[in-house]
Amino acid sequence: MASLQEVARRAKVSIATVSRVLNQSDKVVPETRAAVEQALRALDYRPSRVARRLRMNNGRAHLVGLIIPDIQNPFYAEIARGVEDAAYAAKYALLLCNSDESPEKERFYLDVMRDESVDGIVLPPFDETDAAVVEFFKTGIPVVCVDRSLAKAATDLVEVDNYRGAYENPSRIQSP
């Protein structure tokens, strides 16, 4: 993968000029912009997401976190699919983690989400007093709870109304 220095060398400009072109600054003359854009294409330059997040000027990483307890559970697999589809449609990437119903793994992944500057997180808390999720909520990063709510944090919540679902679709109920 090409570096910023290689692009600057090829376009015969400074690294700062390449950065200005990448950030769509109006302080670059059209001929120089064209030379830099040609070098970017020729070298197939791709900006580092990590570096871009270091200087986020709009506060957005365009990254959503999803922690699910069991990726093999069809219920959570469907949630993962739905969250990924919605994230992609909004031009967000998804950071998917499987906690295996382990509070230690959940806490580890919450720390990763915070470190990666996610714009929001979706997860089912272990219970209504899940301390790790309550603590994460206090960081100000939006939290959407799925299937289970938190008693001590006013998060958004997506729940399934099992009673209503069974009433509306009795043929889908399986007897024991």
Q: Note the pLDDT tens digit of each residue in 18-41.
A: 989 988 888 999 999 999 999 999
State pLDDT tens for residues 112-154. Answer: 998 888 999 999 988 888 888 888 888 888 988 898 778 877 7
Cβ 61 vs Cβ 116: under 8 Å? yes
Quick check: 57 pLDDT over 60?
A: no
- What is the domain range of residue 105? 63-165
Residue 161: pLDDT band (50, 70, 90) is confident
* Structural domains counted in the chain: 2
Phi first, then psi, for residue 13 (nearest 5°) are -135, 175
For residues 72 and 159, state if they share a domain.
yes
More confident position, 169 or 23: 23
Residue 89: pLDDT band (50, 70, 90) is very high
For residues 43 and 69, state if they share a domain.
no
- Does residue 84 form part of some domain? yes
For residues 39 and 124, state if they share a domain.
no
Provide the edge-to-edge strand list for the sheet that holds 120-123. 93-98, 63-68, 120-123, 143-146, 156-158
Residue 85: pLDDT band (50, 70, 90) is very high
For residues 153 and 72, state if they share a domain.
yes
Quick check: 160 pLDDT over 60?
A: yes
For residues 11 and 69, state if they share a domain.
no
According to DSSP, residue 143 is labeled E
Which pTM does this prediction carry?
Answer: 0.65
More confident position, 29 or 4: 29
- Does residue 58 form part of some domain? no
For residues 96 and 121, state if they share a domain.
yes
For residues 40 and 97, state if they share a domain.
no
Query: What is the H or E stretch that residue 120 is in?
Result: strand 120-123
